[in-house]
């Protein structure tokens, strides 16, 4: 077989595998948003079977020979081959029976988590979560040997290609030292100012959803290629040509659902903007989760909590809910939307305390993967870390270690990408505004087109052709710099 034919054969195989994973993504969305609880067992079998089919394709012995022979000349094809090989190494490291066992354990644990959180029942979830953790550690051990990395870094590489816990430790230890004093300073400044006037409801869920649809359209979301639904935990799923967003609504506080939608819309815009020419090929995928999180946090935190956007949002929200008065001014919205507090829930946290929630989870999951902590001790360790990092202790496990779906869902090594993404978002937004001074004036009118045009050219359209570090350097002129994130926080919360 010629080098070109070998490469084309790999393209065909990876397209087939990706289409199987696309089907899994749609089934996962349905399980979260539509499926009745009684369908859980059948869905677990369906997803597990599809994962085995994809795994069998990836581990076909012919793949090794194709990789040896393939030598494309086109730079994008070369990058695609690199990404194919990385995915293949991950897939071939784990035997099919372990893939199937973990998939079933995750499906069972996710369904049990829904009940456990509602009933504040960590003990009831424990055996299911322990099964997921044990299987995850098996996967980590195998991949660590195959990839020549630590167990935790082998899991991290699935979400942040090339990322290392040593680099994350340095960044997070620095933030953990910076955040407590900075948070206290912000809270003191906030206490000395006029308090935010409450935005009084109720806010009907149907009205919230219509407002969310309008704002999604302002950001540029294409409803011909996606939709918004409700689930227990907000997420962005589906596939690049059919993106599925979910959120949850609180009729006493429309900010939670609305900002959740804007966050997930940032994810969606990235997916919708990935290079069409390379659909179903690894080089056409998003470049790891820190870049993905940067896109959601750029829309939600950097842009949608800016003074510019709040000048647009305040009157629009007032009209939607039939409200008026001093509470519904952009100035009060800024106090509401940028209020800092020591809260319990990560997804509702402000951008000052949010990194502390992530550092907590990163430290705990590493300890669990590296057998430095027993899973039964998680609630106590969680509460201790919350006291140290956030300055508040959960009254129960429902709002403590049971609040996230990530670990029951088998996503270990994912959490650090949230704060890496926040730092990346700050750096990208600063560079975008410098490159195009019309971005913030346009956002003040509900027009995200200039911002999205810059992101399309500098992030979305590049797919996985570059590493995360190369992409950020190309877009901003330097590698990830924590000083940019700190400067953003200081400007917005102490100097503004």
Tell me which residues are annotated as active site. Answer: 264
The answer to whether the beta carbons of residues 118 and 396 sit under 8 Å apart is no
Q: How far apart are CA 222 and CA 211, in angstroms?
A: 16
Alpha-carbon distance values, 207 to 79, 106, 253 (Å): 45, 35, 12
Q: How far apart are CA 358 and CA 404, in angstroms?
A: 11
Angle ∠(293,109,357) on CA atoms, nearest 5? 35
Pick from 134, 159, 140, 132: which is nearest to 408 by CA?
132
The answer to whether the beta carbons of residues 40 and 107 sit under 8 Å apart is yes
Q: Count each helix (H run) and each strand (E run) in the chain, helices first.
A: 20, 3
Alpha-carbon distance values, 118 to 124, 234, 251, 379, 385 (Å): 12, 16, 19, 16, 23
Q: How far apart are CA 73 and CA 255, in angstroms?
A: 50
Pick from 418, 416, 365: which is nearest to 137 by CA?
365
Q: What HEC string does 235-280 produce?
A: EEEEECCEEEEEECCCCCCHHHHHHHHHHHHHHHHHHHHCCHHHCC
The answer to whether the beta carbons of residues 175 and 355 sit under 8 Å apart is yes
Using only C-alpha atoms, the chain has a radius of gyration, in whole angstroms, of 22
Long-range Cβ pairs for the range 120-129 (8 Å, 24+):
120/396, 120/397, 120/398, 120/402, 121/397, 122/378, 122/379, 122/397, 122/401, 122/402, 125/402, 125/408, 126/375, 126/376, 128/408, 129/375, 129/407, 129/408
Neighbour count for residue 137 (Cβ, 10 Å): 17
**Through-space distance between the first and last CA atoms of the chain, rounded to whole angstroms:** 64
């Amino acid at each position: 077989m010629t080098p070109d034919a070998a490469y084309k054969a790999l393209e065909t195989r990876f397209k087939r595998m990706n289409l199987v994973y696309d089907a899994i993504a749609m089934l996962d969305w349905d399980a979260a948003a539509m499926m009745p609880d009684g369908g859980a067992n059948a869905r677990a079998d369906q997803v597990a079977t599809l994962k085995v089919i994809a795994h069998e394709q990836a581990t076909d012995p012919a793949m090794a020979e194709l990789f040896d022979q393939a030598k494309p000349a086109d730079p994008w094809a070369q990058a695609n081959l690199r990404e194919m090989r990385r995915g293949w190494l991950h897939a071939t490291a784990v035997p099919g029976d372990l893939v199937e066992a973990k998939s079933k354990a995750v499906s069972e644990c996710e369904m049990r988590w829904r009940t456990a959180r509602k009933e504040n029942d960590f003990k009831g979830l424990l055996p299911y979560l322990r099964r997921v953790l044990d299987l995850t550690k098996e996967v980590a051990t195998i991949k660590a040997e195959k990839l020549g990395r630590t167990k935790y870094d082998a899991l991290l590489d699935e979400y942040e290609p090339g990322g290392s816990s040593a680099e994350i430790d340095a960044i997070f230890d620095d933030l953990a030292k910076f955040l407590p004093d900075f948070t206290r300073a912000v809270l003191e400044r906030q206490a000395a100012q006029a308090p935010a006037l409450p935005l009084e409801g109720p806010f009907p869920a149907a009205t919230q959803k219509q407002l969310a649809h309008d704002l999604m359209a302002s950001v540029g979301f294409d409803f011909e290629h996606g939709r918004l639904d409700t689930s227990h935990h907000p997420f962005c799923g589906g596939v690049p040509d059919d993106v599925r967003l979910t959120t949850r609504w609180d009729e006493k506080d429309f900010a939670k659902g609305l900002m959740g939608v804007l966050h997930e819309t940032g994810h969606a815009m990235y997916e919708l903007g990935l290079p069409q020419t390379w659909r179903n090929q690894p080089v056409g995928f998003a470049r790891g989760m820190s870049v993905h999180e940067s896109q959601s946090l750029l829309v939600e935190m950097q842009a949608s909590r800016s003074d510019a956007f709040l000048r647009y949002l305040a009157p629009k929200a007032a009209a939607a809910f039939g409200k008026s008065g001093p509470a519904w001014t952009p100035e009060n919205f800024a106090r509401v939307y940028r209020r800092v507090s020591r809260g319990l829930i990560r997804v509702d946290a402000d951008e000052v305390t949010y990194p502390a929630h992530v550092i907590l989870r990163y430290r705990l999951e590493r300890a669990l993967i590296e057998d430095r902590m027993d899973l039964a001790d998680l609630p106590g360790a969680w509460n201790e870390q919350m006291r140290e990092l956030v300055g508040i202790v959960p009254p129960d496990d429902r709002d403590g270690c049971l609040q996230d779906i990530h670990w029951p869902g088998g996503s270990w090594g994912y959490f650090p990408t949230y704060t890496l993404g926040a730092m990346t978002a700050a750096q990208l937004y600063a560079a975008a505004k410098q490159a195009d001074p019309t971005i913030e004036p346009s956002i003040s009118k509900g027009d995200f087109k200039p911002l999205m045009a810059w992101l399309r050219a500098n992030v979305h359209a590049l797919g996985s052709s570059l590493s995360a570090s190369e992409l950020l350097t190309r877009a901003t002129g330097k590698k990830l710099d924590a000083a940019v994130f700190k400067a953003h926080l200081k400007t917005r919360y102490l100097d503004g």
